A and B are shown apart, each in its own frame.
Chain A
Amino acid sequence: MRGRTSTIESFHGEWKLMRSDQQEAPSLQAAQPTRPTEEKAAAWFLYSAVFWLAVPGIAGLIMAVFLFAPYVQDWLPMWARPYIQFGRLRPVHVNLALIGWLSMVYASSMIFIVARLTRAPIYAEKLARANVVLWNVVVAGALVSLLLGFNQGREYAELVWPLDLLLIVCFAILAVNIWGTVFRRTEKRLYISVWSFMAASLIFPFIYAIGNVVWDTSGALTGMNDAILNYFYVHNLFNVWFTTGAMGLVFYLLPKLTGNPIWSYRLAVWGFASVWTGQHHLLYGPGPEWLELLSVSFSILAAVPNTAFAYNFFKTMQGSWNKVVTDVPLRFLAMGCLFYVATCFQGVSQSFRGFNAQIHFSNWVIGHSHLAFVASYSFFAFALVYHLLPRLMGRPLFDRRLMEWHFWLIAPSLIAFMVTLWAAGLIQGENWLTGGIPFVETVKAMKPYMFLRLVTGAAMGAGIAVFVYNTLLSLRTKPNPAPVAEQVA
């Protein structure tokens, strides 16, 4: 019989590992933060991430204003207009969210989690601290260079060549720390999260280097192959780094916060991602048709790991749903998992050519990317920040009630935001394929949707502001009086 009992028995090592680490802190309420001074790198990563989150939030909000009321731009002083403009803010919004906010939360969590699951101190703490500094330099460089208009003209791969190289160094150092810690581990068995982090950190620097064409300072190929490589990169940034990483994070945090072991460890191993699906971003485009069909086939195949994840998630949550009422981090995590399942199945549906024809180029796709990067990955990241912060800093959160504000400001408005964009996208697609409707008429028809996008976006922005405020002010709370020594070195 498959199920929880047999899983515990057959994977006794993992289960014991999760339990022992969990005994002192099944949830944030009982958090006993320890050793505030030793793991500075992870803490710095975490705070840097929270700090940078403010930038994509603000940039997104300004863009939403411009899309609803473009005349607002005319109110800006002339010197500011080249920089505060949709075409400059858009790459800032995307890049800062991905390499500033999300990737730095990932880096922090990976270092923290790997040290615990392997029962070994991080391989090179000083190197990791240097990495935080370098990573911040890259993100600041990205912000400034993109605002100044240094852009390589390739979506998600906009950063200029020197920043590309530095960012590869950052990811490589992270990989060295993860792998180095694994090789010096004292816990022989590796939990599924560690496997995920090892795979993601090993492969991603190569994907980044290839996708950004680092052997050429222009960062691009010539002709059709450039677009093919660009979307190979875009989808693998998502699949190899964010998804593979997220699986490790969820399979660590979910048992931690619910107190249940992963329902099926075997099923969790089925979290593979495919690197063959990039071309589904360019369906009916000028690229080769066989490649489109191949990418569609592999996109449909992605339903298999998605189903495995969904089943495992629901079975692991069984009996713990009541906890989401009081436990905000668990609420973020569980909601993020639900959104993740939705993202994956929406992604599969979008790769069908008939449906893709309708929604391609429209606001639907913007809704989908927010479902992936905000509703699932950022929700995981919020849960991680709330979980890690007291442990890393050895001090409680500034105000626990603000976590509720954060959640209730961001979650309902995010859903409304995405539904608005999906509806808007369907209308755009319908108008465009009907033909004979002047383009600007569709733009005018978007007005009410752009208004809703702005209002819901503003509420999301308020949620993020509360989160950043609450987290940053936690630096000023009193340290916990007597840190309890942790079993894990």
Chain B
Amino acid sequence: MKQPSILYLIVGSFAFLIAGFVVTVWLPGFLKDPQPTEFAVRYNDVQLEGRDIYIREGCWYCHTQQVRSIEVEVGTVRLRGDIGPESVPGDYVYQKPVLWGTNRQGPDLSHVASRPYATKEWHIIHLEDPNNVVPGSVMPSFEHLNDRDMDALSEYLMALK
């Protein structure tokens, strides 16, 4: 039996790659140009610095920032449904990168600033010793962050309405 030419492999592979890219990456962006919602925040400099610390310390490995449609009214941090409203593309229009996350060792933080107990001071105390504020928490302490970083990080968290 004759083997096909290597040219088929080259052309086929690239056709396969380009088709996949066009349909699943380019097309979604082309079809939808989301308008900013009330949750889309243009971060100020301090909040952006805090966001960089959030990325640097890997907070997003354990905390998601996306509320799925099926968990609205159900998702619980302390009280039933306090996870907040469903996330939509318009929430993220000013974010680069987005921090949706894929794992929850801790609760979702999309709307963490809207929880009644969460103030900037609460966040600082919680970041310094999570287990003292929430007994049973497995979150590490971030007391090694300097004051400036701690301030920026808690400012950022307070921007997640």
Residues of A within 8 A of B (CB): 10-11, 66-67, 70-71, 73-74, 78, 81-82, 85-88, 90-91, 149-155, 182, 189-190, 195, 198-199, 202-203, 206-207, 210, 218-230, 232, 236, 274-276, 278-279, 281-288, 291, 294-295, 357, 360-362, 365-366, 428, 432-441, 443-444, 450
Contact = CB atoms under 8 A, between A and B. Distances in A.
A222 B28 contact: no
Contacts of A149: 56-57
A91 B58 contact: yes
A291 B61 contact: no
Given A227-B100, A286-B89, A365-B103, A232 B136 contact: no
B116 interface: no
B95 A223 contact: yes
Given A221-B97, A435-B81, A438-B76, A294 B24 contact: yes
B144 A81 contact: yes
16 contacts: A66-B138, A87-B58, A199-B13, A202-B13, A218-B96, A228-B25, A274-B20, A286-B89, A286-B100, A287-B28, A361-B104, A362-B104, A365-B103, A433-B71, A437-B76, A443-B105
Interface stretch (B1-9, B42-50, B118-126, B150-158): B1-9
Given A86-B58, A220-B96, A286-B92, A275 B20 contact: yes
B80 A435 contact: yes
A285 B68 contact: yes
Contacts of A295: 24
Contacts of A74: 141
Q: 7 closest Cβ contacts across the A-B interface?
A: A87-B58, A275-B20, A220-B97, A435-B74, A153-B55, A284-B68, A149-B56
A311 to B, nearest CB: 21
A361 B64 contact: yes
B88 interface: yes
B136 A443 contact: yes
Interface of B: 1, 3, 6, 9-10, 13-14, 16-17, 19-21, 23-25, 28-29, 31-32, 34, 55-62, 64, 66, 68-71, 73-81, 86-89, 91-107, 131, 134-141, 144
A199 B16 CA distance: 11
Given A226-B95, A229-B25, A443-B137, 14 more contacts: A66-B140, A81-B141, A198-B6, A202-B13, A207-B17, A227-B100, A228-B28, A230-B97, A236-B20, A275-B21, A284-B69, A432-B74, A435-B73, A436-B76
Contact of B100 (A150, A189, A236, A282): A282
Contact of A206 (B17, B71, B74, B104): B17
Given A155-B102, A226-B98, A361-B102, A288 B75 contact: no
Nearest to B51: A153
Contacts of B6: 182, 190, 198
Q: Is the interface of B mostly helix, strand, loop or mixed?
A: loop
A152 B97 contact: yes
A282 B10 CA distance: 31
B139 A70 contact: yes
Contacts of B141: 73-74, 81
Contacts of A432: 71, 74-76, 104
Given A70-B139, A74-B141, A362-B104, A224 B57 contact: no
The residue among A223, A282, A439, A443 with the most chain B CB atoms within 10 A of its own CB is A223
Contacts of B25: 210, 225, 228-229, 232
A87 B1 CA distance: 54
Nearest to B53: A149
Given A224-B89, A228-B28, A433-B74, A90 B137 contact: no
Nearest to A10: B1
Contacts of A441: 136
Contact of A278 (B24, B29, B102): B24
A232 B24 contact: yes
A203 B17 contact: yes
B84 to A, nearest CB: 13
Contacts of B78: 438-439
Given A294-B24, A443-B105, A226 B144 contact: no
